[in-house]
Amino acid sequence: MRCNMNGLLEIQELTVKRGSFLLEHINFSLQENEIFSIIGKTGSGKTLLLEAIAGFYQPDQGKVLYGGTAMCEIPAFQRNIGYLYQDYSLFPHMTAFSNIAYGPKMRGVSKAEIQTGVTEIAEQLEIRHILNQYPGTLSGGEQQRVALARALIMRPSLLLLDEPFSALDPVTKRSMYDMIRKIRKDFGCSLVFVTHNFTEAESLADRIGVLIDGHLCGIVKSQDLYSAQWGREVLDFLGITEKDGRDCRDERGTL
């Protein structure tokens, strides 16, 4: 069933229960070509929210509308979204080339087109030299690029990233920030990424949502993260003392 909606993705009163954890009454929409970040402590439900957006779970209440259709009603293979897990989830029995070629192969693209497509995207993401290697022999940064290439070769309208930078060293992190900006520019897709690092959310996202214990406490433009009128829980999470509004983050910008 198609519904009227605002933007590429609209989440309406989304409630998902997994075990004893409850993600409650989540509302937000995502515009085309927007980068949206969800920040929150470990265990606040960020990954669950991202997986619910991807349609891996049937909502207990509410809807995730994607292009006007409930995400769960679209078969997984027709969703046209990319998902990057924190551990990249590359297929361990396939080379980097086969990982990237997997999507087009499943869609019945010809071998010649797959070869061209994989080579092109590998050049864009600077991973052409590792195409014949298995995931186990790649560094974290290389694995991430392969996983990104595997998702991007399908030209998704929406890319969901689960803590994409948490396992990377500072130098690789910085190059991946540039890569994300480049992906937005070159592929024109919208991105939602979850993180517990305020600095990367601030520097990459257009808007940020703060998730505390399964509740979306608010959404602000990234430049307003520290100046917005937050409740006590968010102020505690952001490390701002309520008394003087002073920024108490440590040097790395993380809790």
Partner 1 sequence: MKRREHNAFQSACVFLTLLTILFIGGNIAVIAFRGIRSLPECLHQRETLFAVYLSVKSACISSILCFVLSIAVSYVLTKTRLFCREAIEILLELTMSLPNIVLGLSMLILFSSPMGKALKGAGFPVVFNSSGIVLAQLVVNLPFAVKLTSTAFREVDQKLERVAGLLGATQGKCFFTILLPLCKNALISAFILVWSRALGEFGATLMLVGVTRMKTETLPASIYLDVSTNDLGGALASAFILLLISAVSLGIANHFAKANRSLSRYEM
Residues that bind partner 1 (CB under 8 A): 54, 56, 76-77, 79, 81-83, 85, 87, 89-93, 102-103, 106-107, 134-137, 150-151, 154
Q: Any alpha helices (H) in the chain, and if so which ranges?
A: 46-53, 96-106, 111-124, 140-152, 170-187, 198-204, 232-238
- Rounded Cα distance between 219 and 39, Å, is 10
Non-local (6+) Cβ contacts of 244 within 8 A are none
Pick between residue 110 and residue 137 the one whose CB is nearest to partner 1.
137
Smallest separation (angstroms) from partner 1 to the CB of 100: 10
Question: For residues 172 and 142, is the Cβ–Cβ distance under 8 A?
Answer: no
Q: What would the 3-class secondary structure string for 187-228 be?
A: HCCEEEEEECCHHHHHHHCCEEEEEECCEEEEEEEHHHCCCC
Q: How far is the CB of 20 from partner 1 (least distance, A)?
A: 20
Output 79 or 207, the one with its CB closest to partner 1. Answer: 79
**Minimum distance, C-beta of residue 244 to partner 1, in the bound complex (Å):** 44
Cβ-proximal residues to 134 (8 Å cutoff; 6+ apart), any chain: 92, 94, 95, 96
Q: How far is the CB of 176 from partner 1 (least distance, A)?
A: 19
Residue 81 vs 201, nearer CB to partner 1:
81
Given the complex with partner 1, which of 16 and 238 has the nearer CB atom?
A: 16
Nearer to partner 1, 137 or 175 (CB): 137
Which residue blocks in 107-139 are alpha helix, DSSP H?
111-124
What are the residues whose beta carbons fall under 8 Å from the beta carbon of 85, sequence distance 6 or more?
147, 162
Residues making up the chain, counted from first to last: 255
52 versus 234: smaller Cβ distance to partner 1: 52
Q: State the minimum distance, in angstroms, from the CB of residue 106 to partner 1.
A: 4
Q: How far is the CB of 43 from partner 1 (least distance, A)?
A: 19
